[in-house]
Amino acid sequence: MKKLMCARAEELLVRDLDAGLTDTERALLETHLTGCAACAELRQEISGLIAALKTDSPADPGEEYWHRYDLSLEAGLREKEINPGVWVLRWKLAAAALCVVLVVLAAREFTGRPDRDAQTLPARALALVEDLREIYGPVEEDRYLSMDIGNDAAFPGDFRIAFLNDGFTNWFEVEDESDNLLL
Amino acid sequence: MNDADLVRDFRNGNREAFAELVRRYSRPVTMTILGIVRDNEAAKDISQHVFLKAFEKLSGFMFASSFKTWLYRIAINSARDHLRRRKRDFTVELNEHEPEPGPSASERLEQLRMRSLLRAAMEELPEKQRLTLQLRIYDEMDYKEIAGVLGGTEGSARVNFFQAVKTLRKKIGGIDEKTYVRKSRGAAGS
C-alpha cells in the first residue's frame, strides 16, 4: 500500500511543479510527505533539478546580437516583399502570353485555318484511286458513273438514283417514285 | 490587439501588423531555438528563416491553432531539421552562461560540472521528452501549448514531461535546490 502511495506521490510531485494539483490532491500529497522521508527528499531533488535546468536556459545574447538580428530580418522581409512583386509581374506576363496564344489558335480554328491534311488528302486519295484503276481496272463506282441515269432499265425497281454534284459521288439523293408509277 | 487580429490585418495588406508580430515573438522564438541548437548564429539564422516562412505562409494560415502555436511549430521543426542536418557535436560549451556569483570556486566548478552532466543527460532523452522539458521550463508553456507545438495531446505532453524529469533524476540524482550542485547522497553515475 505504501509503495503504491509513493508512486502516486511521485506523480503528484511532478504535477505540483506546474501548480496542477487540486486541493484534494495537494492535501493527500502533503499528508503523505509528512510521513514519508523518501518522498520528502524526492520533492527536494525534483525541485533542485528543475531549478538547475532553469539556470541552464540559454543566456540572452545581448543587444548587439538583437540589433543585427532585427536588421537582417528586416532586409529579408523587404526582399520577400519585392520578390513576390516580381513573381506576380512574371505571372501576369505569362498569363498575357498564354491568352494571346489561345486567341490566335481560336481564330485559326474558326476562320478556316489552312489544314495541310485537308488539302493534301483528296489529292493523295485521287492519285491512289488512279493507281488502283490501272492495276485492277474500273472499280464499282466507275460503273455507276458510266450508267445512263435517265434510263430506268439501268435501275430496276422503284428507285432512281440521281447523282449530283457534277457527277462525282460526294453524296447522292434517293427519290422514291413508287407512288407516281402506280398513278 | 491580439495575435489573430494582427494576422487578419496583415492579410488585409497591413505590413505593420506583421512587424508587430515579429516584435512580440522574435526574441522568445529565437531563445527557444537557441535552447535547442545552443549556437547563437545558427539560432539567429533559423529564427529569421522561421519569420520569413511565416511571412510567406501567413496568407494560408487557417486559424486551426493560435498564431503562437503555429509559429513555434515552425520554429521547433526548423531547429530539429537543423540538428538533423548538422548532427551536432554535443561538446558542451560551458562559458556561454556564467554560473551564479557568490559560491566558492569549488562550488562553481561543481556547478559547471553539474550543468555539463545535465546537458549530456538531456541530450540522451528521447527527442519529444527533451523538447517538452525545454518548452515547459525555458519557455514556460503550458501542456496545451506544448501539445499544439509538438503534436499529441495535453495528457501525452504531461507524461513526456513527467518521464523526462524521472529519467534525469535517475541519471543525475539529487541536486541541491539552492546551490545547484549534486547532493553527495543519492548521486548517481559520478
For chain B, give every domain's residue range: 3-86, 97-172
Q: Which tens digit of pLDDT belongs to each residue from A106-134?
A: 888 777 655 555 556 678 888 888 888 88
**Chain B residues inside the 8 Å CB shell of A70:** 26
pLDDT > 60? residue A148: no
- What's the residue count for chain A? 183
Task: Quote the pLDDT of residue A4.
Answer: 56
Higher local confidence (pLDDT), A148 or A81: A81
Task: Quote the pLDDT of residue B109.
Answer: 76
Closest chain A residue by Cα to residue B92: A56
Q: What is the residue whose three cell numbers read 560540472?
A: B113
The answer as to CATH 3.90.1150.10 being correct for domain B97-172 is: no
Confidence of residue B79 (pLDDT cuts 50, 70, 90): very high
- Cα separation of A62 and B97, whole Å? 12
- Helix, strand, coil share of chain A (percent; to 5): 70, 5, 25
Which value does ipTM take for this structure? 0.76
Residue A31 is placed in which grid cell?
499528508
State which H helix or E strand residue B50 sits in: helix B40-57
- Over residues B17-41, the mean pLDDT reads 92
Task: Quote the pLDDT of residue A22.
Answer: 85
- What's the residue count for chain B? 190
pLDDT > 70? residue A151: no
Among A17, A48, A69, beta carbon nearest to B44: A69
Grouping H, G, I as helix, E, B as strand and the rest as coil, residue A183 is: coil
Q: What is the phi/psi pair of residue B64, to 5°?
A: -70, -30
pLDDT > 50? residue B116: yes
Among A17, A45, A66, beta carbon nearest to B174: A45
Q: Which of B177, B182, B185 to mutate to test the interface with A (most CBs of A within 10 A)?
A: B177
- CATH assignment of B3-86? 1.10.1740.10
Let me know: does B148 contact B66? Beta carbons within 8 Å.
yes
Provide the sign of the torsion angle of the four alpha carbons A160, A166, A172, A175, taken in this order.
Answer: negative
**Measured CA angle at A14 (ends B155, B98), to 5 deg:** 115
pLDDT > 50? residue A164: no
Task: Quote the pLDDT of residue B103.
Answer: 63
Please indicate whether, in this complex, the C-beta atoms of B175 and A51 are within 8 angstroms of each other: yes
Task: Quote the pLDDT of residue A24.
Answer: 87
Task: Provide the shortest C-alpha distance from residue B132 to chain A (in Å).
Answer: 13
Break chain A into its structural domains and give their ranges. Answer: 2-55, 147-183
- Cα separation of A167 and A164, whole Å? 6
Residue B30 is placed in which grid cell?
529565437
Task: Quote the pLDDT of residue B146.
Answer: 93
Confidence of residue B98 (pLDDT cuts 50, 70, 90): low
Task: Provide the shortest C-alpha distance from residue B65 to chain A (in Å).
Answer: 23
pLDDT > 70? residue B46: yes
pLDDT > 90? residue B88: no
Provide the sign of the torsion angle of the four alpha carbons B46, B48, B52, B54, taken in this order.
Answer: positive
CA dihedral B177, B179, B180, B186 (to 10 degrees): -70
**Chain B residues inside the 8 Å CB shell of A53:** 118, 122, 133, 137, 168
